[in-house]
């Protein structure tokens, strides 16, 4: 009898080990399951927080992600501390970047997000896992963890990413993106994520999103994402500024001749305010731009965001149509200008361009020999114009400006 007890115990241990092994999945089996999930994906709704580590201090944003098959997206990024919300929307009329606070939107004819990944989009995460044949895989108590390349993002500084997926249903739990030196760049922590979400018909409508946020999770039939915005330009990559809240001053040309509408070749503007009369002065500090409703504090890029060999040349007040602004001129290895202004209502304008992910917002890049990156944040419109500054540096400077506004 005593001899049988160890034998029985051995069989119990072996049986438990077999059951445990059957319950564990390897990377290949999880990837196969993820492919099945992707094939059946009709809609989802997620929320959480995104933390950017690209500046001097982390910046936190609330992120909401809505998706409905086949191509309807709504992403809202909110700086809760400053009550700033910007939305990127895709529906049958194109891709929109919305700033409800300014009643301002830009429209693209684009295949976004297929042409550029977003760290908070489930499809991007699945694609990252599937594309990396050298993926690293581990398990935690309630999650599968993939460590894969971050090659499908617009930001060239992103090198790798860790993705946590719930074991129970493969919903995303957390994402961490690092650079080539393993420095944390961006992290997203989901507090909720639901497959099969139902949306109101107005959920992906541009006009509805410019007003009160449309409802999600209602019992009404899912919307078709269509909206009546009028005829859009059919050319690929076209962006239209529906600018009920924009000034007409656009920065054009190179920096030493950087111009806004009404700007002279030496960089001064017709009707420019006298630097001694209360505005900013050449080489002046970050003092308010004066002018009744136009007053605001302009910001300068963080010095660490500037390319080596580039310095601030001067700072000038500008008169831009019905509003005032300030122009910062930088020179050295690269030449560029930054025009900051508080937009007002004006007629619709349009120009060709592409959308750039700036982390906390999205920018509009237009031009060929001379490029202009335009974005809005906290009620201020920014235009960075150059004929030789690389795109990655343009994005880095824009991110720096947005970060400084976010923490003020």
In a domain, 187, yes or no: yes
Of the candidates 155, 69, 101, the one whose C-alpha atom is nearest the C-alpha of residue 395 is 155
pLDDT for res 202: 94
CA-CA distance, 63 to 77, in Å (whole number)?
5
Report the first-to-last Cα separation within the chain, whole angstroms: 78
Residues 88 and 60 in one domain: yes
| pLDDT number for residue 7 | 54
User: 303-306, long-range: CB within 8 Å, 24+ apart, which pairs?
Assistant: 304/56, 304/400, 305/396, 305/397, 305/399, 305/400, 306/330, 306/397
What's the angle, vertex CA 185, arms to CA 97 and CA 359, rounded to 5? 10
The token duo for 14 is 């072996």
Weakest mean pLDDT among 21-30, 158-167, 169-178, 254-263: 254-263
Which of 240, 266, 300 terminates a domain? The answer is: 240
State which residues form the domain around 90: 29-240
Asked if pLDDT for residue 401 goes beyond 50, the answer is yes
Helices (H), 40-172: 122-131
Looking at the structure, tell me whether residues 207 and 252 fall in a common domain. no
Contact 115, 154 (CB under 8 A): no
Considering only CA atoms, which of 359, 351, 365 is closest in space to residue 394?
365
Residue whose tokens read 């202009």: 372
The pLDDT, as a whole number, for residue 226 is: 42
Residues 274 and 207 in one domain: no
Q: Which two tokens stand for residue 23?
A: 């319950």
Q: Taking the CA of residue 319 as centre, how many other CA atoms within 13 Å lie in the half-sphere pointing to its CB?
A: 11
Say whether 200 sits in a helix, a strand or coil. coil
Q: Are 110 and 233 in contact (CB under 8 A)?
A: no
Under a CB-based contact definition with an 8 Å cutoff, are residues 316 and 275 in contact? yes
How far, in Å, CA of 338 to CA of 403, rounded? 16
Neighbours of 83 (CB within 10 A): 9
Q: Are 372 and 251 in contact, with CB atoms under 8 Å apart?
A: yes
13 within domain boundaries: no
Same domain, 254 and 213: no
Average pLDDT (25-38) is 95
Q: Which two tokens stand for residue 29?
A: 């089996």
Query: Cβ distance 91 to 225 under 8 Å?
Result: yes
pLDDT band at residue 62 under the 50/70/90 scheme:
very high
Helix, strand, coil shares, percent, the chain, to 5? 20, 40, 45
Quick one: DSSP state of residue 387? S
pLDDT at 250: 39
CA-wise closest residue to 218 among 370, 12, 335, 43: 43
Packed helices 122-131 and 27-39: angle between N→C axes, nearest 10 degrees: 140
In a domain, residue 11? The reply is no
Q: Both 318 and 365 in a single domain?
A: yes
Closest CA to 330 of 352, 348, 307, 353: 307
CA distances (Å), 356 to each of 45, 287, 307, 390, 396, in order? 24, 29, 19, 13, 11
Residue 17 lies in a domain: no
Nearest-Å Rg of the Cα atoms of the chain is 25
Q: How do beta strands 84-91 and 94-99 pair?
A: antiparallel
pLDDT category of residue 10 using cuts at 50, 70 and 90: low
Which of the 8 DSSP states describes residue 212? Answer: S
Where residue 195 sits, what CATH number does that domain have? 2.50.20.10
Q: How many domains does the chain have?
A: 2
What phi-psi label fits residue 303: left (phi over 0), alpha (psi between -120 and 50 degrees) or beta?
alpha
Tens-digit pLDDT profile for residues 84-109: 899 999 999 888 888 887 777 877 76
Q: Does residue 5 lie in a domain region? A: no
- Please report, rounded to a whole number, the percentage of residues in the chain having pLDDT higher than 70: 71
208-260 confidence digits (pLDDT tens): 998 854 545 443 334 444 444 433 333 334 444 433 333 333 333 333 333 44
Selection from 168-172, 293-297, 351-355 with the highest mean pLDDT:
168-172
In angstroms, rounded to a whole number, what is the distance separating the alpha carbons of residues 183 and 48?
22
| 160 vs 242: which has the higher pLDDT | 160
Domain of 269: which CATH number?
3.30.200.100
Tokens for 286, please give them. Answer: 């970050």
Q: What 3-state class would DSSP assign to 395?
A: helix
For residues 199 and 270, membership in a common domain is answered with: no
Tokens (6 digits) for 59: 């910046």
Q: How far apart are CA 188 and CA 87, in angstroms?
A: 17
Residue that finishes a domain, picked among 240, 258, 287? 240
DSSP string, 137-149: EEE-SSEEEEEEE
Assess if residue 16 is contained within a domain. Answer: no
Place of tokens 């693209």: 108
Look at residue 81 in the predicted model and tell me its pLDDT: 85
122-126, 225-229, 345-349: which is most confident = 122-126
């Amino acid at each position: 009898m005593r001899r049988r007890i160890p034998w029985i115990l051995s069989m119990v241990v072996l049986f438990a080990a077999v059951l445990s092994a059957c319950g564990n999945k390897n990377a290949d089996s999880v990837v196969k399951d993820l492919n099945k999930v992707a094939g059946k994906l009709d809609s989802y709704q997620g929320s959480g927080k995104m933390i950017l580590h690209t500046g001097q201090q982390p910046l936190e944003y609330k992120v909401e992600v809505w998706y409905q098959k086949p191509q309807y997206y709504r992403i809202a990024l909110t700086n809760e501390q400053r009550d700033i919300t910007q939305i990127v929307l895709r529906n049958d009329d194109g891709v929109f970047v919305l700033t409800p606070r300014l009643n301002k939107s830009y429209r693209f004819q684009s295949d976004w997000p297929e042409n550029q990944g977003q760290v908070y989009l489930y499809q991007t995460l699945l694609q990252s896992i599937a594309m990396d044949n050298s993926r690293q895989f581990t398990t935690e108590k309630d999650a599968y963890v993939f460590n894969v390349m971050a090659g499908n993002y617009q930001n060239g500084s992103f090198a790798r990413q860790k993705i946590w997926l719930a074991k129970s249903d493969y919903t995303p739990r957390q994402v961490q993106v690092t650079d080539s030196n393993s420095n944390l760049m961006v992290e997203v922590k989901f507090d909720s994520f639901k497959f099969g979400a139902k949306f109101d018909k107005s959920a992906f409508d541009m006009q509805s999103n410019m007003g009160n946020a449309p409802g999600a999770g209602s019992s009404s039939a899912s919307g078709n994402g269509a909206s009546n915005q009028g005829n859009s330009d059919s050319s690929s990559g076209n962006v239209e500024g529906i600018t009920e809240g924009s000034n007409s001053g656009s920065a054009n040309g190179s920096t030493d001749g950087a111009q806004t509408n009404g700007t002279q070749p030496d960089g001064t503007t017709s009707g420019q305010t006298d630097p001694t009369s209360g505005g900013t002065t050449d080489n002046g500090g970050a003092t308010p731009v004066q002018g009744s409703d136009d007053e605001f504090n302009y910001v300068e890029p963080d010095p660490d965001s500037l390319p080596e060999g580039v310095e601030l040349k001067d700072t000038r007040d500008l008169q831009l149509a019905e509003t005032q602004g300030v122009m910062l001129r930088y020179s050295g290895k690269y030449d560029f200008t930054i025009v900051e202004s508080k937009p007002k209502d004006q007629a619709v304008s349009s120009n060709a361009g592409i959308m750039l992910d700036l982390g906390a917002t999205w920018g509009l890049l237009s031009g060929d020999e001379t490029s202009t990156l335009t974005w809005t944040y906290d009620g201020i419109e920014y235009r960075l114009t150059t004929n030789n500054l690389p795109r990655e540096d343009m994005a880095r400077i824009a991110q720096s400006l947005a970060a400084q506004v976010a923490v003020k």
